[in-house]
Structure 1
């Protein structure tokens, strides 16, 4: 029996040894895993990596981001890509391929720079550039001299790497410094590629080095050196130093349009088709401030203008205290307008003629009336106004423009970029009429009061037109609508009539007008030769209601289309309503 007992004891000893080995193995494995974890978590990567700009030979940085295209040149010969200037500095910058021209417009200046030429033009006066525009590798580059002069920007170029840091006026740069370690003055601070200690080191920063902080990720700051290199530094290794605000340059004094003494503008258009009116037959117009005769018309696609101006009319107007804002029309001709707006030279040709006419006839302003314009010319029309306004303002001229109410019509409404246009204009005239136009398939008011008010509201709210720049244009005419029944259908036709015509009809036919609540106007209808006639009347009621809208929204004033269509009493209706306190 003893051998059996001894054999059993040996088996148990072997099992105990095996268990011990297993436990030691697992302990060693856990130790290795813990060591690996601690190594991964707490032991930094001391490998260094040379930072670069991803192959960009001369990078441009804005707000801590490297832009797509490089700069060229250095110091005074530094140049920036056109696309970057347009994207980051001035979205209104224009490049005209046909003439290889870059056109810059500011509030008071129009600058034309031509590729490879040292002579530029500011407000059509020559000036000399130190360095020309140039094309390299398919990229157009602009010299920094005119850019720094025209725009409120600051460029900082690193002498070490050539990197360019772009800042705009009013922006804040957050400067930080690496911490100081008194007992280890030679210890460096790692700027790493990524926000982790395992990322390679881009730079060993000295204590007290300055960095720009652009953001943060967890325990790290995203930083940039003055040489342009970007990286990450732990938050506990940086201390806020100072905030630098890029100084604002002295702004150009804005042009202030000369306003009539009355405060609210009271303007009327004078329609001139072939010859000017006999001013001796024009009755008094009490309260009127401005007359706008339709004198200047686009004659062809080259930008030549037809001139119907009359010095005698100007003298008559000035003798009565009226300002004269000559109207410039595109003749509502689409093709001609497209051609004339297509190039800087053609646009400037129109502008120079208008400037010459304004000086020749002692005008106080130009009123732009472009209608029936192709939608594709929307931006060119904006550019024309942007180029026109500084030159007009240089001569002290008021620049205004007529626009229709907002609608879905491309050629009569959508081509106006009202929100952008108003930035250059002194006034915008809302032509709040022709709600129902001459060939409208349905009879209706020329300008119902709810429609007019909505048109005003649309421009103020949706287009952000300042009320101080918006003038409400009102009709001195209405339409007689005739409805004819044929084969169960109603045919509609109309004819425009002066304000007094409905009053004569009322008198002759002994009619009684009724106030139409839908339109806010007096209304009559009558049958003649078996046809139903309808008239929404323009009279004292409608005129005064429109002036109340001017006051309600505190608009700049009122304009009327057109002189000669009105009841003579209309001037007193307007002037007394404008001067009366708001209701």
Structure 2
């Protein structure tokens, strides 16, 4: 049946879907806005900071050290390892005598565990608090060390934390902002660089904090109580304070008594059993220091053999010549190891030398330790560090002889030249024996390029200042003999005085040839089936060496040894040093 009005369609039933969808989307939008807003809401959660169970932590440049401090205020102590690492790397602990030994420019301090009496330059003094072992670790009282080094221990009474700052350290300080209208408001220090990180501490307004690092909107800071965290940049005042720890006032440096006419012109006097009669010496113009080989290590207990002669000293002083007594280890590695092993033995040697120096009115001591085991490298340095302050206290000059650098352990490697120069007044470079007595090939005792390279290498690699470096030159050479034995060349040599080759040249009517690669004159001649070769030590080679002294402005020259030279050498050296 057709509808009555075909132009009107039937109505659909009403639906509620659209309002439901709108409500759903509104809820989602609200939730999204809520979540979006939530990320800008700072967390108010608090979390207590900790020192990881460390009861009295020590901090240096924000890092918490492995071992804690002990005691408090004036009685505060730090572990030996901490002091050695951060305050004085040269400090040593001697297990055998339970002694801590500290050496500075002018002091030698010995502190023994559990004792209140220490030794300063071998004179007793009293400590308020002793060294002691705490849970197996050695702890040093800090109060006496503050007299020796520029450092501070800033202890928090609230947490017990200790902040170590030392000479040259720079700390950046900043203050938290102020809210004049909200005096009780605090500034949050959080565990991480985000507002969602828990709050470690509510920092008061205008509280100083140390700044250690920077993030885009945050600073990593440390409070004076040791706790660390992050504070937003906007919560710190823009003006920061820089604190630099000033150095401790150093004692005036020891100034060696200069030889009468400026640069050092020293020669060694070899004494085997008896010192020669100096009144019979030929003139040596320009000589201003002699070093007689008088004192020798006799045994592993530190006893010394003494060959000194007062008459020789009297002659030297009458000629305005200083006397630097030589102290040798006898070139015996075994007894050297034993004698250097303990503080007591080292000090025994030092005290004997001090006594000899006073008895014979010496102006210095020249240390000549050779053929030393490389394992004793550090102990030799320690011996010199302990020796020099006591020598300087008596006004004595201390020098040490070293070989050129090489890979030979007992000849060269055992010298820690860089450390030794920090203590001694002068270092003598024994620039000879490039080709030694038993060398498999013939060659110069000290060719000029080898000598110069030995000099510059030490100056560059070990930072030896020219003002402390003395070039030691040979007054001898070697006559090399080459012969063919069973089809092979056999090489032998003998050391001779400077004068000997000149006699050979005259007797055999030889003509020296200048070898530019060695910077020396050279001769050779045959005796039967043997070929003899001589790299001459003469005025030509000596003048070349003196030019090196002038070129590098060295402290002077030393020669091995008096009696090997020709007389004309002395005026040459004197004129070159002027």
Alignment of 1:527-566 (within 5 A): 527-566=526-565
Cα offsets for 1:134-158 (capped at 9, x unmatched):
0011110001121111111111111
Matches of 2:567 and 2:471, distance apart in 1: 20
3-state secondary structure, aligned to 1:236: helix
Matches of 1:354 and 1:7, distance apart in 2: 131
User: What is the TM-score of this pair, normalised by structure 2?
Assistant: 0.96
Alignment of 1:95-494 (within 5 A): 95-239=93-237, 240-494=239-493
Deviation at 1:184, TM superposition (A): 2.6
3-state secondary structure, aligned to 1:104: strand
Deviation at 1:281, TM superposition (A): 1.8
Deviation at 1:542, TM superposition (A): 0.4
Cα distance change, pair 179–482 in 1 and its aligned pair in 2 (3 A): same
**Greater mean alpha carbon deviation, residues 42-51 or residues 331-340:** 42-51
3-state secondary structure, aligned to 1:560: strand
**Greater mean alpha carbon deviation, residues 510-519 or residues 250-259:** 250-259
3-state secondary structure, aligned to 2:391: helix
3-state secondary structure, aligned to 2:386: helix
Q: Note if contact 2:190-2:197 (Cα within 8 Å) is conserved in structure 1.
A: yes
Matches of 1:288 and 1:26, distance apart in 2: 105
Deviation at 1:10, TM superposition (A): 6.3
> Would you say 1:66 and 2:77 are equivalent positions?
no
Cα offsets for 1:491-532 (capped at 9, x unmatched):
000000000111100000000000001100000000012200
Cα offsets for 1:342-384 (capped at 9, x unmatched):
1111111111111111111100000000111111111001100
Q: Note if contact 2:299-2:335 (Cα within 8 Å) is conserved in structure 1.
A: yes
3-state secondary structure, aligned to 1:32: helix
3-state secondary structure, aligned to 1:280: helix
**Greater mean alpha carbon deviation, residues 172-181 or residues 251-260:** 172-181
Q: Note if contact 2:260-2:320 (Cα within 8 Å) is conserved in structure 1.
A: no
Matches of 2:77 and 2:221, distance apart in 1: 26
Matches of 1:430 and 1:17, distance apart in 2: 102
Cα distance change, pair 25–392 in 1 and its aligned pair in 2 (3 A): same
Matches of 1:510 and 1:74, distance apart in 2: 86
**Aligned residue in 2 for 1:94:** 92
**Aligned residue in 1 for 2:17:** 17
Q: Note if contact 2:56-2:160 (Cα within 8 Å) is conserved in structure 1.
A: yes
Cα distance change, pair 27–542 in 1 and its aligned pair in 2 (3 A): farther
**Greater mean alpha carbon deviation, residues 230-239 or residues 425-434:** 230-239
3-state secondary structure, aligned to 2:567: coil
3-state secondary structure, aligned to 1:549: helix
- Unpaired segments of 5 or more residues in structure 2? none
Cα offsets for 1:377-410 (capped at 9, x unmatched):
1100110000001000000000100000000101
Matches of 2:106 and 2:400, distance apart in 1: 18
**Greater mean alpha carbon deviation, residues 242-251 or residues 515-524:** 242-251
Cα offsets for 1:291-346 (capped at 9, x unmatched):
00001111011111111111111101111011000001111111111111111111
3-state secondary structure, aligned to 1:393: helix
- Unpaired segments of 5 or more residues in structure 1? none
Matches of 2:2 and 2:448, distance apart in 1: 123
Matches of 2:25 and 2:375, distance apart in 1: 77
Larger relative helix fraction: 1
3-state secondary structure, aligned to 2:212: strand
Matches of 2:467 and 2:24, distance apart in 1: 86
Deviation at 1:261, TM superposition (A): 3.0
Q: Note if contact 2:431-2:473 (Cα within 8 Å) is conserved in structure 1.
A: yes
Cα distance change, pair 44–493 in 1 and its aligned pair in 2 (3 A): same
Matches of 2:282 and 2:431, distance apart in 1: 26
> Would you say 1:39 and 2:7 are equivalent positions?
no
3-state secondary structure, aligned to 1:190: strand
Matches of 1:350 and 1:286, distance apart in 2: 34
**Aligned residue in 2 for 1:51:** 49
Matches of 2:105 and 2:214, distance apart in 1: 38
3-state secondary structure, aligned to 1:563: coil
Q: Note if contact 2:332-2:372 (Cα within 8 Å) is conserved in structure 1.
A: yes
- How many residues align? The count is 574
CA RMSD of aligned residues (A): 2.0
User: What is the TM-score of this pair, normalised by structure 1?
Assistant: 0.95
Deviation at 1:437, TM superposition (A): 0.2
